Structure 1
Amino acid sequence: MSSTESTEAAVADPAPTVPAAGATADGETLRTVSLPGLSLTVRSRAPRADGRAPALFVHGLGGSSQNWSALMELLADEVGGEAVDLPGFGFSPPPDDGDYSINGHARAVVALLESERRGPVHLVGNSMGGTIATRIAALRPDLVRTLTLVSPALPELPPQRSAWPTALASVPGLPRLYARATRDWSTQRRTHALISLCYGDPSLISAEEFAEDAREYERRLALPYFWDAMVRSTRGLVNAYTLGGQHSLWRQAERVLAPTLLVYGGRDKLVSFRMAARAAKAFRDSRLLAIPDGGHVSMMEHPQLVARALRDLLAEDHRVDDAPLDRS
């Protein structure tokens, strides 16, 4: 089946893509968690039962758990970090019900957290993953100890022009036209276009990293459900933008009780830097890390800066835990 044919049709029986559980070449561990109606691949760097505070990392649209590898390595001494492949992304197969809405992705993450029973976690999300994390923090505060959002995809109307092509992927018929128009593109050209969109400074990518990214992109393009997961998730995100009342994402941001770290890049082509001020006001207990040269994936482009800010957030959380009780 070609990518064009699979763009808007769900695949009933996708080929298995989850690698064998165990250690990877870079010292990470992949495991599969089977849950009702879905199967999730989870990436980690260290044993889970060592007493460190648990953290869960949620990637954005078109991403995977691998987006968090650099940041998890820098924080390995501080938290028991794990990153999830959302349904239909990375090595996780599509959900049985084909639900790629923000609520559907959020339910998948909540199901994972509840099945693991690790207590409230330090929840970290990027882009669409930030949208998912915001909804979880608002509706299930018992599951979230702190919240970190890297370029969260919260409603921005109108969006900046560089984000229009991504939003247009939700329009019926357009993904099919795009797939047809780009069918002759090489994997290298596709990878370069994606990196240019997501990074503030694409030159930071080494030749070795680019080659690895291209290989992974080629693997995922070959999946029969790749375009379906992308298109349906994009529609789910756009639909979430239109919700009002108590379901509004900005209203839910105001309901978040967890201490929140916001990370925004000055060169972000998908989430405007101007949204940082609005987010800082919406989240009641927020602190802001602004990275002037950063793009949409600052945890990959500037992992040291993000790790330092996250450590500061964790230190604040520890001080709250250690504070004496006021018995007056």
Structure 2
Amino acid sequence: MTTFLALHYWAGSGREFELLRPLLPPGSHLLAPDLPGFGDEAAPAGFDYSVASYADWVAAYIEHNELEDYHLLGHSMGGKIALLLAARRPAGLRGVLLLSPSPPSPEPISDADRAASLAAYGQPAEAEKTFSKITSIPLPEAERQQVVADNLRTTRAAWEAWLLSGSREDITTQMTQIAVPCRLLVGENDRAISLATQRAQTLPLLPAGTSLVVVPGAGHLLPLEAPEEIFKDQYASDVVL
């Protein structure tokens, strides 16, 4: 059985992928852990919140769950982690599905936006504003509440580390080591990491033949805004081995 190991966005949690479960390709299942510092997952002692440390944590999770045939599904921050792990060529990895990923090069965040995000930590009103910014397709009230709640239960250490360090990390030199198929999905109206950014900073560094799928009308939260698009078309038929 093929496993999709889903890695969530910054200030989110693994539960963002729940809508994907009934849409999975036949013969596959989904694992969606909370990453350290997010959701219900406490960071291990000494954890430094770097992209490499997150990749190490995911590798340990793969070993613990004895995954031998799996695909990485990385959203936003989770996409950058997935790319670094894929560059290590772990055994059993069959492909990488990227949903509006943080690019391998530093994310283009202005100093003003970075400062505003740092100051927004733990503030319900700011969490509501973030929800409005990162979504474009209207979502049910329960999903809005989920996104806001996940934002507010992020630890300060994980929040600040990504803004000050993780989002700025440059893993471009490792991208040539990726040896599995990749697919890139981006929301047409993504205001968090724009389509232009993905075309300039992500797509050129992915393996030759990687497809870019633009999801009409969607913003940044593709697993919630357009879950039916995730496994569509050629990729869905290719993953069942």
Per the shorter chain, which TM-score range? 0.7 to 0.9
**Partner of residue 73, structure 1:** 22
How far is 1:215 from its partner?
Answer: 4.7
Structure 1 counterpart of 2:135, one-letter code? Y
Structure 1 counterpart of 2:139, one-letter code? I
Instruction: Say whether the 8 Å CA contact 1:106–1:133 is kept in structure 2.
Output: yes
Scaled by the length of structure 1, what TM-score is found? 0.65
Number of paired residues? 239
Q: Give distance in 2, aligned partners of 1:260 and 1:117.
A: 23
Scaled by the length of structure 2, what TM-score is found? 0.86
**Partner of residue 135, structure 2:** 199
1:137-165 Cα shifts (integer Å, max 9, x gaps): 0113424211001111115668266x952
Which stretch shows the higher mean deviation, 126-135 or 258-267? 258-267
**Partner of residue 122, structure 1:** 71
**Partner of residue 283, structure 1:** 206
Change (3 A) 1:149 1:228: same
Classify the secondary structure of the residue corresponding to 2:108.
Answer: coil
Change (3 A) 1:157 1:138: closer
**Partner of residue 218, structure 2:** 294
**Partner of residue 253, structure 1:** 175
State whether structure 2 residue 157 is matched by structure 1 residue 228: yes
How far is 1:282 from its partner?
Answer: 2.2
Change (3 A) 1:95 1:291: same
Ranges in structure 1 where 5+ consecutive residues have no aligned partner: 1-51, 242-248, 322-328
Q: Give distance in 2, aligned partners of 1:136 and 1:127.
A: 15
Ranges in structure 2 where 5+ consecutive residues have no aligned partner: none
Which stretch shows the higher mean deviation, 73-82 or 254-263? 73-82
State whether structure 2 residue 82 is matched by structure 1 residue 82: no
1:231-274 Cα shifts (integer Å, max 9, x gaps): 02333313413xxxxxxx23322321111110112211121211
**Partner of residue 15, structure 1:** none
**RMSD of aligned C-alpha atoms?**
2.6
Which stretch shows the higher mean deviation, 279-288 or 264-273? 279-288
How far is 1:316 from its partner?
Answer: 2.4
Fraction of identical pairs, as percent: 25
Instruction: Say whether the 8 Å CA contact 1:137–1:143 is kept in structure 2.
Output: no
Classify the secondary structure of the residue corresponding to 1:110.
Answer: helix
Change (3 A) 1:158 1:288: closer
Change (3 A) 1:190 1:84: same
Change (3 A) 1:192 1:78: farther
**Partner of residue 185, structure 2:** 263
Change (3 A) 1:157 1:58: closer
Change (3 A) 1:111 1:289: same
1:55-99 Cα shifts (integer Å, max 9, x gaps): 100012111001111123321744111001111111101221131
Instruction: Say whether the 8 Å CA contact 1:160–1:270 is kept in structure 2.
Output: no
Structure 1 counterpart of 2:60, one-letter code? A
Structure 2 counterpart of 1:264, one-letter code? V
Structure 2 counterpart of 1:207, one-letter code? E
Structure 1 counterpart of 2:183, one-letter code? L
Which stretch shows the higher mean deviation, 83-92 or 133-142? 133-142
Structure 2 counterpart of 1:210, one-letter code? R
The structure whose RCO (Cα within 8 Å, separation 6+) is larger is 2
How far is 1:216 from its partner?
Answer: 4.8
